[in-house]
Amino acid sequence: MERPSRKTKPNHSSDEDYTNDKNKPPVYQKKFIIYSIIAVATMLIYSYYSIHKSDILQEVSKKGTSLKPKYAVIIDAGSTGSRVLTLAFKESLGGGLTLEDELFVQVKPGLSSFADNPSKASESINQLLAKAQNFVPKEYWKDTPLAMRATAGLRLLPSEKADELLNEMLRLFERSPFYTNKNSVAIMDGIDEGLFSWFTVNFLLDRLNGKLENSVAALDLGGGSIQITFIPSDSTQLKKNLPEFITEYPIMNQKVDLYSHSYLGLGLMAARKSVFTIDGENLNITSPCVSVAAKGSPFKFADVTYYINGAASNNEPAINYNICKSIVEGVVKSIYTDKPKDLLNQKIIAFSYFYDRAQDAGLVGEKGGEVSVNLFYDAAYKECTKTSYNEYRPFKCLDLIYISVLLEQGFGLPVDTSVTLLNTIDGHEISWALGAAYHILQNGL
C-alpha cells in the first residue's frame, strides 16, 4: 500500500515560526498572549475562591450536594440517671463529621430504679425523646438514628428484670419518629463504653487528625463502673499479658491498638455500697465513714435504699479519717486492677464523678483544671476532720477518700501525679454518647 506523502516544513534561516500572512503576529506571540490570559484568569479565580470560600461551601451545602447535616439521638441509661445527647454534625467533603451543636438533658433516677415498674421507665425516657424531637428539624427525623445504651445500672440487675426494661424501651422507640431497628436498645459492654469515652475526649480535643501518639488517656468514673482507656506506647507486652483488653479500633482511616478495661463494682456508688455493707447486707447501717450527725441518711443503689448512720468517736461530727481510709483500701483491693505501667507515660483526662467531686471540694472551677492525687487526699482529710456537718453532702468525706485511694492504689499512680479534670470541652459535654453517635453515623445502627 502506498503511504501518504508527508508535507515538509519550509526551511527558514531563523528559529521563528511564521505564518503565510506577513501582516499577522508570529505564532509564538499568540501563544504567549493566550498563556498569559490563562494565568491571570487562574489567579483571579483562586483569589475569588479564597475570599468567598465560606460562602461557596455554604451554597454547596444548601444545594445538598455535600456538607449534609446529620443528627443522632443517644440515650445514656446510667446507674444514677438517664441522659439524652442529641448531636448535630456536618458531613465534610472527605466523609468525616464535624460537630456543630448538641442538646444535653438528664433526668433522675436511673432506669434500674424502675425495675419493678417498667412503664414508669417509659415515662421517664419519653421526656428525653420529646426534647430531642424539638432539637432535630422535622425533615430529618426519619434519617436520625435513635439508640439507647444502658451501662452499669442494668448490668447489675437480675437478667429478667433488665430484659423487661429493655423490651419496654424497644416498644417506646418503635413509636418514635426517629430511625430505629432491633439494635436500637441494648446493654453496652463496658469496654465499648471506655472506647467511646476515649474517642469523645480525643475528638473534642482535636487529637485524632494528626499523630495518634498525641492522644490522651481517658478515665471515666461512673456510678457502677469505671473505664480506663488509652493507646499504649508498645502494645506487644499488653497483648501478651492482657489480650482481652486490647482492641483494634478504626480511627480516621487507620487502625490502632487500644487498651480499655471496665471495672464493674468500682464506680463511685458501687464503692459506697461496698463500704457501707462491709459487715453485712443490712438496710439500717452504721458506718465510721459518715458523721454521727448523719442519722438515717438515705442512700439508694441498685433499687435498694439503705439508711446510713454515723459512728464517729466522742459523739462529734468529725469522722475518723484513718479508719475510713482503711475500709476503703480494703474495698479497692478486693477488685483486681491491672495497674498498667504505660499509664504513667500518658496525659490523663478524668471526668464524670472525678470532676464532680473535685468541684464540690473546691479543687477546680467550672472549666476544670489539673489536680494531683495528693490534693485529693488533702481535700479528703480536710472534709473528714470538719467539726461542722454538711447535711446536703453526708458522704463527701467517703467519696474523696475513695477517689484518692482508687487513683493511687487501684491504678498505681504516684501521689504527685496530676490528672486533668474536665466536664466539657469547648462547651461540649464529655460523654461516651458522642463517640457512640459518631460510630453509628459512620457504620449504622
Closest CA to 428 of 119, 98, 161, 127: 98
CA distance 418 to 198: 18
3-state secondary structure of 394: coil
Closest CA to 185 of 34, 77, 310: 77
Active site residues: 193
- 35-48 pLDDT, tens digit per residue, is 666 665 656 555 55
What pLDDT does residue 31 have? 56
Phi, psi at 227, each rounded to 5°: -120, 140
Topology of domain 190-281+316-427 in CATH is Nucleotidyltransferase; domain 5 (3.30.420)
DSSP state of 256: E
What pLDDT does residue 129 have? 97
Residues 6+ apart with CB under 8 A from 322: none
Cβ contact 297:308 at 8 Å: yes
Cβ contact 332:405 at 8 Å: yes
- Quickly state the pLDDT bin for 255 (edges 50, 70, 90): confident
Residues 6+ apart with CB under 8 A from 201: 216, 218, 349, 351, 422, 425, 430
What pLDDT does residue 57 have? 41
Given a cut of 90, whether residue 342 has pLDDT beyond it is no
Rg (CA), the chain: 31
Residues 6+ apart with CB under 8 A from 442: 97
What pLDDT does residue 163 have? 94
Given a cut of 80, whether residue 59 has pLDDT beyond it is no
Given a cut of 60, whether residue 58 has pLDDT beyond it is no
Buried b (16+ CB within 10 A) or exposed e, 198-223: bbbbbbbbebbeeeeeebbbbbbbbb
- 148-159 pLDDT, tens digit per residue, is 999 888 988 889
- Quickly state the pLDDT bin for 12 (edges 50, 70, 90): very low
Phi, psi at 301, each rounded to 5°: -150, 135
- Quickly state the pLDDT bin for 313 (edges 50, 70, 90): low
Phi, psi at 287, each rounded to 5°: -130, 135
Residue range(s) in the chain whose domain bears CATH number 3.30.420.40: 65-188
- 174-205 pLDDT, tens digit per residue, is 999 999 999 999 999 889 999 999 999 999 99
What pLDDT does residue 133 have? 97
CA distance 165 to 169: 6
Buried b (16+ CB within 10 A) or exposed e, 249-281: bebeeeebebbbbbbebbbbbbbbbbbbebeee
Residue range(s) in the chain whose domain bears CATH number 3.30.420.150: 190-281+316-427
Given a cut of 80, whether residue 215 has pLDDT beyond it is yes
**Domain 65-188 class?**
alpha beta
- Quickly state the pLDDT bin for 1 (edges 50, 70, 90): very low
- Quickly state the pLDDT bin for 312 (edges 50, 70, 90): low
CA distance 114 to 122: 9
In the chain, the amino acid numbered 307 is: Y
- 85-142 pLDDT, tens digit per residue, is 999 999 877 778 899 999 999 999 889 889 999 999 999 999 999 999 999 999 999 9
Percent of the chain with pLDDT over 70: 83
Q: Which residues are 305's β-sheet partners? A: 300
Percent of the chain with pLDDT over 90: 63
Phi, psi at 347, each rounded to 5°: -80, 125
What pLDDT does residue 64 have? 40
